[in-house]
Amino acid sequence: MSKIYFLLGGARSGKSEYSENLASLLSEKVAYMATAEIIDEEMQKRIELHRSRRPAGWQTFEFKESIISLDDFNSVLKNVISEQMEVILIDCITNLLFRIVYKHRVEDLEIIDNAFERKIEEEVQEFFSQFLLRLAAARDKHNLNVIIVSNEVGLGLVPPYPFGRVFRDLLGLVNKKIASISDEAYFFVAGLKMKMK
């Protein structure tokens, strides 16, 4: 029986490496949905590290546009289903969320008013409601195992700038949504995993 697995943790906590091992255990027919965008040399190195760990037989889907839409995601999911892949690994939700909200140029604002924040939140909620609905349908109808990786960013200090605070809150909402529809959920700290669900 296929499942949705949710892997949550901080940076370098071991979640991505575990997700790749889990995908390999579940099947050889793995689709890897890479959500990061190369924006600087540091990100280039991180992406190259992830690429080097992936088995050659996996099919990787990357997004060329800076902003990812629901249509982009639907196109990937349609390919995954048509090619009868058995696992889709999405790494990671944090980068996906950033690329969704980036178009609003929130980082340029000194103050974010409530109406603007509500507008972004509604857009994010709508995107991820549809995103998760389609993943759950693919799990049930096409026997697709889904592995979703995300960061936990709400355990530290309150970010000192508006975009950081808005992003932290949005990611918290998205993570709760994912956890609610997941069959299994794990939290990673220092390379160790704790089963939450």
CA atoms within 13 Å, Cβ hemisphere of 74: 6
* Catalytic, out of 30, 35, 37, 50: 50
- Is there a contact between 168 and 175 (Cβ–Cβ < 8 Å)? no
Q: How is the chain split into domains, by residue range?
A: 4-195
- Mean pLDDT throughout 176-191? 97
Report the mean per-residue pLDDT for the chain.
90
- How far apart are alpha carbons 139 and 133 in whole angstroms? 10
Express each pLDDT in 86-103 by its tens digit.
999 999 999 999 988 887
81 to each of 77, 141, 197, how far by Cα in Å? 6, 10, 27
CATH architecture of 4-195: 3-Layer(aba) Sandwich (3.40)
Express each pLDDT in 10-59 by its tens digit.
988 999 999 999 999 999 999 999 998 767 787 677 777 777 788 889 99
Query: What's the confidence (pLDDT) of residue 108?
Result: 63
The residues, any chain, with a CB within 8 Å of residue 104's CB and separated by 6 or more, are 116, 120
- Mean pLDDT throughout 104-124? 76
Query: What's the confidence (pLDDT) of residue 21?
Result: 96
The residues, any chain, with a CB within 8 Å of residue 6's CB and separated by 6 or more, are 148, 150, 178, 179, 182, 184, 185, 186, 197
Express each pLDDT in 159-170 by its tens digit.
888 888 889 999
Work out the pLDDT band at 109, boundaries 50, 70, 90. Answer: low
Query: What's the confidence (pLDDT) of residue 164?
Result: 85
Label the pairing between strands 30-34 and 192-195: unpaired
- Is there a contact between 6 and 184 (Cβ–Cβ < 8 Å)? yes
Asked if 104 is an active-site residue, the reply is no
